[in-house]
Amino acid sequence: MPRISEFFGIVISMNYDDHLPPHFHAKYAEFIASITIRGRGLSKGHFPPRQLALVRQWARLHEDELWVNWERARRRLPLNLIEPLVNN
């Protein structure tokens, strides 16, 4: 599963030719979750509330890039890295 971003110990990845709805995967310690691109809902798994809020904030900032990667993954093209979330 290609890694597309990493921040604050959270690894974001996306599978090639994955099932619908369009989503990405987040991993933090022993927690793994699937999060939808549209609406940023937790579709599968468990995630600590604070880290889930960070993932949702990151996904909101990079929604267009996530859609591009989803389409690239469906066509089995290399995925683009997406900038991590940073402290302001």
Domain segments of the chain: what residues?
A: 3-74
Q: What average pLDDT does range 33-43 have in this prediction?
A: 95
How would you classify residue 68: left for phi > 0, otherwise alpha for psi between -120 and 50, otherwise beta?
alpha
**What's the chain's average pLDDT?**
95
For the cut 70, the answer to whether the pLDDT of residue 87 exceeds it is yes
Q: What is the pTM of this model?
A: 0.94
SS3 content of the chain, % helix, strand, coil (to 5): 30, 30, 45
HSE, side-chain direction, 13 A CA sphere, residue 29: 5
Q: Once rounded to an integer, what is the mean pLDDT over residues 18-30?
A: 95
Confidence of residue 72 (pLDDT cuts 50, 70, 90): very high
> Is residue 88 scored above 60 in pLDDT?
no
Kindly provide the residue ranges of all beta strands, DSSP E only, lying in 1-88, ordered along the sequence.
3-7, 10-13, 23-28, 31-36, 42-45
Q: Is the pLDDT of residue 78 over 80?
A: yes
CB atoms within 10 A of CB 62: 21
